[in-house]
Amino acid sequence: MRTLACIVASSLLLLPVCRAQDPWFPGNPQSGKNDAATPKPHIDLQVGGFRVVEISSDHITIGLHVSVRADQHAKIGSITFDQAYLNGLPVFLSLMEQPVEVLPNEFVQLPGELTATVYYRDVDNSGPLEDLIQSGTVKVDGEATIKAQLNLVEKLALLSDNVTSKVPVHAVIPVALPGGDLGKSAALMALHAAQPLFGVAKKASSETGIGPTPDPWREAEKKQFDDLLLYVVTQYQLIDKHGAVTKYTHISTGFRIDPIHFVALKEAVEPWLFDSESLSLMKSAGAKVVEDATDILVYAPGDVVNGSRPPLSLRNHDIRMVAEGSEDHESILMKSERGLKKGSLDVRSSKGNVAVFEFSTPAATPANPEIAQDSDAMDPIAIVRFKTPQNGIPLEIEAIAVPATRNGEAVELTNPVDARSFGSPVVVSSGILAIVQDEHSATLLRPLLKRAGYALSN
């Protein structure tokens, strides 16, 4: 049975990495792959004790217990989850940081209860959560960062006490609800009670005093960015030494900073340098990037992705990169054809994850947004991003309120955001302050562009 637990084995380099076999869905930047069969995992995972912990005015929290069984002894120090999706729904999973020893062929429950938080701002309706309860299974996608404790032989071989591994997660996991049918009914009733707070019903719920009050300032910012925000699609392929091709689609956001330039993350230029799944394929199968199959496509609000009107294209010389930040790497351990091998993965939350592009044709409408000073106040604050695209529907944008604090050049997001927000502008009353780089943080735009060698005109 293919389960999330293969990530644990992969972290100890006992297994090949779990591979995705699911079609791309918008908003998941690590999907769109055409893969070979997934190897049989040597570790199984069980999820039980599923329960609704909290239903508040802006989120729902789900609690669950996780048990792991391995076919050989393993020591796990911590597991964190990034870019996680349950049944296609963006969720934020808590950290497991209590060391646990996994015994051979025996289920061991991880200490404590993991929580998964779903924010109503990311949900159009409760359908994915209801499907989870009704079906008794949940489809999990994401990336796990696992710190494994090494034995003496491994320490001597790797000259390290611990090893960090970033592993893609694609699994279907059984879910056990406490209380049987009664527990299932109770959970469904709780979700139905929360239905007025989801997605398009937020406005109606605010009028009854249940949900958040509409914010005129955020609505004004959203309207302003109809001429500024850009939907960035990076397409690339990897080919291994046997000629097998894996196709990838990376989704992010960009925004205009003047009539002929826009800013995006450097990850949009070379996403394979930031993606543990691509790195694993390069290390384990000698895969390389197919240069003539790489392209960056740019859409504007109101465009239809894959519609009749073609997007702007890097390959067609509609855009070109004129500045980029310098890489910031982290070392991870990967399984290669010749055994253990250290790899280098670019860091999303860094002072070099930025790129500036130039349009071959200036914007038809004025595009000179105010760029906030680094010291400007952060109240109010909003992240402007695209709504999840639907087939055949024009792209729409939204402005969401996210509490944040400043820490040097970093803007730390109190409530995490999903991958739809990566590359989005963080906006304050005086203008664009920062750019979102990962789930938990953004970086101030002015110093980021200065280090990349780009001089702002305002």
Tokens of 176: 């056990």
Return the amino acid letter for 197: L
Identify any residues that bridge with 93 across adjacent strands, giving them in sequence order.
116
Mind giving me the DSSP string for 261-320? EEEE-GGGT-GGGT-HHHHHHHHHH--EE-GGG-EEEEE-TT--TTSSSPPEETTTTSEE
- Residue 177 φ/ψ, nearest 5 degrees: -95, 130
Tokens of 306: 């894959």
Burial annotation 218-253 (CB, 10 A radius, 16+ → b, else e): beebbeebeebbbbbbbbbbbbbeeeeebebbbbbb
> How far are the Cα atoms of 233, 235, 255, 298, 318 from residue 313, in angstroms, in the given order?
10, 11, 16, 6, 5
Q: Which residue blocks in 64-175 are alpha helix, DSSP H?
A: 127-135, 152-158
pLDDT value of residue 65:
77
Bridge partners (DSSP) of residue 69 are 44
Q: Which structure tokens are listed for 135? A: 């079906």
Determine the angle formed by the axes of helices 127-135 and 180-194, rounding to 10 degrees: 180
Residue 313 carries which side chain, given as an amino acid letter? S
| pLDDT for the residue 161 | 56
- The pLDDT, as a whole number, for residue 176 is 61
Local structure of 413: helix, strand or coil = strand
Residue by residue, pLDDT tens for the chain (458 residues) are 323 223 223 333 322 223 333 323 333 333 334 443 333 334 455 666 667 777 776 788 888 777 776 655 667 777 777 888 877 888 888 888 778 887 777 888 888 888 888 887 787 667 777 777 777 777 778 777 777 665 544 544 445 555 676 766 677 776 666 666 776 777 777 667 666 666 543 443 333 333 344 456 666 666 778 889 999 999 999 999 889 999 999 999 999 999 899 999 999 999 999 988 888 788 777 899 998 999 999 999 999 998 888 999 999 999 999 999 998 888 776 655 565 567 788 889 999 999 999 999 887 666 788 999 988 888 788 899 998 888 889 999 988 888 899 999 999 999 899 888 999 999 998 999 999 999 999 999 999 999 999 988 77
Give the span between the Cα atoms of 278 and 246, in whole angstroms.
9
Domains of the chain, residue spans = 6-213, 220-451
Which of 167, 180, 87, 171 has its CA nearest to residue 126?
A: 87
Cα–Cα distance, 268 to 436 (Å, whole number) = 13
The pairs formed by 313-322 with CB atoms below 8 angstroms and a separation of 24 or more are 317/360, 318/359, 318/360, 318/361, 319/262, 319/357, 319/358, 319/359, 319/360, 320/357, 320/358, 320/360, 321/269, 321/355, 321/356, 321/357, 321/358, 322/261, 322/356, 322/357, 322/358, 322/454
pTM score above 0.85: no
Q: Are strands 404-407 and 397-400 parallel, antiparallel or unpaired?
A: unpaired
Q: Strands of 56-212 (E only): list them.
A: 59-70, 74-86, 89-93, 100-102, 108-109, 114-119, 137-149, 162-174
pLDDT tens per residue, range 144-156:
777 766 554 454 4
| pLDDT for residue 172 | 75
How many other CB atoms are there within 10 angstroms of residue 98's CB atom? 11
CATH number of this structure's domain 220-451, picked from the four choices 2.130.10.10, 3.40.980.10, 2.40.10.120, 3.30.2350.10 = 2.40.10.120
pLDDT score at 163: 63
pLDDT at 118: 84
**What pLDDT is stored for residue 335 in this prediction?**
58
C-alpha 282/C-alpha 298 separation (Å) is 27
> What strand order describes the sheet that includes 381-386?
397-400, 381-386, 425-428, 431-436, 441-444, 410-413, 404-407
Residue 175: per-residue pLDDT: 66
